[in-house]
Amino acid sequence: MDLPLGLTLIQLDTVLTAAGRAPSLHNSQPWKFSMTTASIQLHADHSRALPGTDPDGREMLLSCGAALLNLRLAVGRAGVAARVTLFPAGVDGPIASIESDGVGRLSPESAELERAIVHRRTNRRPFLETDIEPMHRRQLVRAAQLEGATAEIIDDPARLASLRQWSADAHHLQMADPLWLQEWKNWTGRVGGPTECHCDRRARRQQRTIPGPSVTSAQQDDRNACQIRTLSSNL
């Protein structure tokens, strides 16, 4: 039986498991995979869409992009140089495919990312109010550049104040949306939504008023991290 990219059965299971460990909105894991002897194809699973939380499907595509990155790293770990092709997002057909581009080896930075896949966990706790070290800022900017993206470090107080207000406004709109709250309950297993957004608490401290109840700490969510849904297999 010919497997995709010349992988062994164990390697194929490993790379699909790595892809399934990718982060996703509410851990919805909105992806499927199909295979031919020449490629592994990634599909958006619209049955796992969250229209209240993600009405335009942007976060679904971001989730699928995270799965694609894990898949590409795991294929590289198996010694295959991955050639990625992206397709227009739509209801039918794949949104990306990975084919072999010969024998390959991960760069040190990519190898470090691949090793981190099994250690990733979802953490819904509030961010710590500590400055990000300059070294870590440079690493974030560098990581974005490697993927053809741009990471902008914002430290201007006026811009930060605007972002803080936008975040608070978005939080309040979500909390007033019954569909958003229902999706939150269905996918996180918790009743209701966050009682307060981090931006609100920080703003009240800055005004020297008494803060309200803090957000209940969420346990790390790794449910179904290895669940792989295969759309079809033409082997």
Tens of pLDDT, residues 131-164? 889 999 999 999 899 888 999 999 899 999 999 9
DSSP string, 121-167: -B--SPPPSSPPPHHHHHHHHHHHHHTT--------HHHHHHHHHHH
**Phi (first) and psi of residue 43, to 5 degrees:** -120, 145
**What pLDDT shows up at residue 226?**
34
Per DSSP, the three-state class of 12 is: helix
* Cα gap 110→143, rounded to integer Å: 10
Residue spans of the chain under pLDDT 70: 1, 89-91, 191-235
**What pLDDT shows up at residue 228?**
39
Bridge-partner residues for 85, per DSSP? 97
**What pLDDT shows up at residue 13?**
96
pTM: 0.80
**What pLDDT shows up at residue 191?**
67
